[in-house]
Amino acid sequence: MKSALNLTRAPRKQIDMSNASKTETPLNTADSLRLAMRGLAKSVTLISTTGESGQRHVMAASAVTPVSMEPPSVLFCVNRNASSYPALFAGADFCVNVLAQCHLDLAHYCSVGAKGESRFDQGTWLKDESGLPYLADAQAAIICTQDYRLPYGSHDVFFGLVSTVHFGCEIDPLVYADGAYIGLADQALIP
């Protein structure tokens, strides 16, 4: 593992499974899914956008997925209680900023530390030709035109057509798994 970061693992929720049969779920279904998803490692991103009034918004997200290469497109999920949701709901374009391990503090700052415009106080933020903010040294900054929104449960799924990709640093992803930010090993398991 890379030693440049001092990443701390959050304690794992302990569940007594000794009395449960293989078909029983000791928790309700939502809690069971939440616990199961702790094992799904995902790259950490910051979704940045600008509202109709020009106010910038950014939020940490790991529920981001490429959809297609023809046309190049991505999707991400946003809880309707998120502060950036109204701008996105209104149809704002967005940027998926893929974070590297050097962005650990920024990821934490944008997920639990700061609110609103103050989230842009850390990092070097640039604007594209339309005024959309993106992180200058992101591993990749994927500029998207919002194409479609699908409401589902407590979240909306936003689809974007990729218009531009900026590359800012080497591939060294910041990953979220088991309730903590982690890094990846230097060597691929299978070359």
**Per-residue tens of pLDDT for the chain, all 191 residues:** 333 344 444 444 444 444 444 555 567 888 888 888 888 889 999 999 999 889 999 999 888 999 999 999 999 999 999 999 999 999 999 999 999 999 999 998 888 877 888 889 989 999 999 999 999 999 999 999 999 999 999 999 999 999 999 999 888 899 998 888 888 865 555 66
In a domain, 26, yes or no: no
Does 142 fall in a domain?
A: yes
Structurally, how many domains does the chain consist of? 1
User: For residue 176, is it within any domain?
Assistant: yes
Query: Residue 190: what pLDDT?
Result: 61
Q: Give the domain CATH number at 64.
A: 2.30.110.10
pTM of the complete model: 0.82
178 assigned to some structural domain:
yes
Are 94 and 88 in contact, with CB atoms under 8 Å apart?
yes
In a domain, 12, yes or no: no
Round to whole Å and give the CA distance between 183 and 191.
19
pLDDT of residue 2: 33
The domain of 63 spans 41-182
Q: What is the pLDDT of residue 112?
A: 82
Residue 29 lies in a domain: no
| 117: phi then psi, degrees, rounded to nearest 5 | -60, -25
